[in-house]
Amino acid sequence: MRTQVAIIGAGPSGLLLGALLSKAGIDNIIVERQSGEYVLGRIRAGVLEQVTVDLLDEIGVSQRLHKEGLVHGGFDLLFAGKRHRIDMNHLTGGKNVVVYGQTEVTRDLMDDRAAKGLTTIYEADNVQVHDFEGSNPRVTYDKDGKSHTLACDFIAGCDGFHGVCRASVPKGAIKEFEKVYPFGWLGILADVPPVSHELIYANTERGFALCSMRSPTRSRYYVQVPLSDKVEEWSDDRFWKELRLHLDPQAQESLVTGPSIEKSIAPLRSFVAEPMRFGRMFLAGDAAHIVPPTGAKGLNLAATDVKYLGDAIVEHFAEKSDADIDHYSQRCLRRIWRAERFSWWFTSLMHQFPEAGGFGQKVQEAELDYLIHSEAASRALAENYVGLPLNFGE
Ligand code: RFL
Ligand code: PHB
């Protein structure tokens, strides 16, 4: 089998890249380890930046997003028992974010791919990438008891943090930067109306909490937990009691609880691999970088990597120029490090660090107090949260 671009991974990065390339007439095949249902069952991101919405518009898969997505012009910061609104829309001259789940983005992209008859190979075992430093890269995998080889011009490593592509790069050719946080997020999804119509990011002496949503009838909530906690130790009842203790009196009153339809613990990590190109193989999305979810940047960074990569590959085939391919890593990494910095800063500001003690809590509250009373500081937060423009500082 042969294709122009072999894409490893059918998460948002792989599906977005496939759609962008197909639109430009570039043949691609996606090879995914899991089943489609498994991929759709992972509950992850909820907040889309304008650049991500623009990309979905460009590839023509945003009809449902515009119908069902919730446009948010602000969010609340909750600390010292009170809520304060960050008016992103006003502070950024009219910019918003859209609340629309990663699951829905993935579903829309999968449906579009199926409708166009494009190939995705699900449940591929033992996926391996070969000869990407030469001019004839290959992907091999097993499916239904048979071995297969996929020859290609390029390999796109869209296979997430635990994927095979980054792991196949010789150790001396890649540099990794990592920070692991001493806590995780326990998340719960429930068919109950959200406690507030916008997101609430809460810092209390008990730790961080986030009130988010998927629709007017479906809520997504998180609380900070020690890494040693197991999800089995958290009954729904225990979760709702804990969440309530993080909220202000008004939110406590309007909180509606109900049975969870998903519950999981996610560890928090900052990670960047440099570079993101190895001959004819590229890394994109979580395969190359991870941010803690506090800044809602992971999916959005994946979307911008893919936009840069898709355009670079199109340029290669259409204009016979490799200028953008050569520039890919550098262009992505500049944007990635800005998002890494923001996500690390917002995480540090909003969570309880075991070693920080009462002093740490007071310093966080002082910074939050400054943040809400200084328009310059609020604007810096808002500007980063809505996302920097695609060509910021270029
Ligand atoms: P994914 O989604 O991990 O997809 C990678 C795909 O590759 C497959 N795969 C392989 N396939 C073939 N062969 C192999 N050897 C393979 N190894 C892996 C996997 O099965 C999978 O299908 O990476 P991608 O596409 O780069 O997308 C990244 C996003 O999923 C991620 O950045 C976001 O979910 C992060 N994130 C958030 N991002 C936001 O922009 N806004 C948010 O509000 C937000 N909230 C979150 C988040 C992530 C969270 N968790 C669980 C880490 C909230 C949470 C709790
Ligand atoms: C979510 O809705 O899952 C969500 C929202 C905002 C974040 C992280 C996750 O910062």
Contact between 272 and 336 (Cβ < 8 Å): yes
Q: Name the band, by pLDDT with cuts 50, 70 and 90, for residue 325.
A: very high
Ligand 2 center–CA 44 separation, angstroms: 8
**Sign (positive/negative) of CA torsion 1, 22, 298, 176?**
positive
Say yes or no: domain 5-48+101-178+268-364 is CATH 3.50.50.60. yes
Q: What is the mean pLDDT of the chain?
A: 96
Token representation of residue 372: 């809400």
- pLDDT, mean of residues 293-300: 96
CB atoms within 10 A of CB 116: 11
- pLDDT, mean of residues 349-353: 96
Token representation of residue 377: 């500081």
Catalytic hit among 194, 293, 308, 351: 293
Does 18 sit in the ligand 1 pocket, CB within 6 Å?
no
Helix (H) or strand (E) holding 52: helix 50-59
Q: Which residues pair with 121 in a beta bridge?
A: 31
SS3 state of residue 130: strand
Give the pTM. 0.96
Q: Name the band, by pLDDT with cuts 50, 70 and 90, for residue 45.
A: confident
Q: Name the band, by pLDDT with cuts 50, 70 and 90, for residue 44.
A: confident
Question: Side-chain half-sphere of 385: how many Cα atoms within 13 Å?
Answer: 29
- pLDDT, mean of residues 71-78: 98
pLDDT of residue 393: 79
- Write the burial class of residue 238 (CB in 10 Å: 0-12 exposed, 13-18 middle, 19+ buried): exposed
Q: pLDDT digits over 183-224, tens only?
A: 999 999 999 999 999 999 999 999 999 999 999 999 999 999
pLDDT of residue 389: 87
Question: Side-chain half-sphere of 198: how many Cα atoms within 13 Å?
Answer: 19
Catalytic residue flag (residue 181):
no
Q: Name the band, by pLDDT with cuts 50, 70 and 90, for residue 392.
A: confident
- Find out whether the peptide bond into 267 is cis, omega within 30 degrees of 0: no
Closest CA to 368 of 86, 49, 69: 86
Distance between CA atoms of residues 134 and 142, nearest Å: 23
Q: Whose CA is nearest to atom 2 of ligand 2?
A: 46
Q: Distance from first CA to last CA of the chain, Å, rounded?
A: 40
Q: Ligand 1: which atom is nearest the Cα of residue 163?
A: 17
pLDDT of residue 322: 95
Ligand 2 center–CA 195 separation, angstroms: 15
Ligand 2 neighbours, Cβ below 6 Å, are 45-47, 199, 210, 212, 220, 293-294, 296
Distance between CA atoms of residues 177 and 289, nearest Å: 9
